[in-house]
Amino acid sequence: MKVVCFGDSNTYGYDPRSWLGGRYPADSRWVDLLAQKTGWNVVNLGENGRCIPLRPITLPADADLVIVMLGTNDLLQGCTPEKTADRMKRFLQSLPLAPEHILLIAPPPMAPGEWVTDSSLIESSHLLAKYYHELAGKLGIQFADAGNWHVTLAYDGVHFTGQGHRAFAENLAQEVCR
């Protein structure tokens, strides 16, 4: 099975302790851990700073499942949860896949930290899961709320710790292997 993971720095595996945009080692990134747990061919299309694309993207044609986790950067740049969900709707509708081949993940909510000092931003990140859940139902796609997965965040309030990546991978593997 070929799984494409399309996301931001947490999908990429960004290590917030790195000054130059470095990554956690492969044995600590959720995408690679998912591949180890399932034996699937898992493609990492994570990119630091990525917002929800406003234009269609090209995905590998042979993807059996596309996992999308985006929205945190949109919120950090001032989008409301409603506007972020609207962007996500347009993006998901542009994907050339049947709905059952798409999994939308609501990112873990942000926490107070160096990047997150505004409580309204934290509240918005909590609300995003509600909007994404409703969107997934309307589009007939799969949905998971990583806010329920006890993913630990680093000092910045946004990026996963190494333990957070492991918790994310464990919960995601349970979700996709049902």
**pLDDT value of residue 108:** 98
At which residue do the structure tokens 């690679």 appear?
A: 32
**pLDDT value of residue 20:** 83
Residue spans of the chain under pLDDT 70? none
Count of other CB atoms within 10 angstroms of residue 87: 18
Q: Which of 103, 9, 86 is nearest to 48 (CA)?
A: 9
E strand or H helix at 4? strand 2-7
In angstroms and rounded to an integer, the radius of gyration of the C-alpha atoms of the chain is 15
**pLDDT value of residue 19:** 78
**pLDDT value of residue 131:** 98
**pLDDT value of residue 154:** 97
Let me know if 80 is exposed, middle or buried by CB neighbors in 10 A (0-12, 13-18, 19+): middle
**pLDDT value of residue 178:** 76
**pLDDT value of residue 61:** 85
E strand or H helix at 145? strand 142-145
For the record, the structure tokens of 162 come out as 């190494």
**pLDDT value of residue 84:** 98
pTM equals 0.97
Q: Residues near 87 by Cβ (< 8 Å), separated by ≥ 6?
A: 51, 52, 54, 74, 79
**pLDDT value of residue 113:** 96
Let me know if 119 is exposed, middle or buried by CB neighbors in 10 A (0-12, 13-18, 19+): exposed
Rounded-to-integer distance, Cα 122 and Cα 82, Å: 15
Q: Which residue segments constitute the domains of the chain, with CATH numbers given?
A: 2-176 (3.40.50.1110)
Count of other CB atoms within 10 angstroms of residue 112: 13
**pLDDT value of residue 21:** 79
Give yes or no for a contact between 172 and 144, defined as CB atoms under 8 angstroms apart.
yes
CA contacts within 13 A on the Cβ side of 96: 9
**pLDDT value of residue 127:** 98
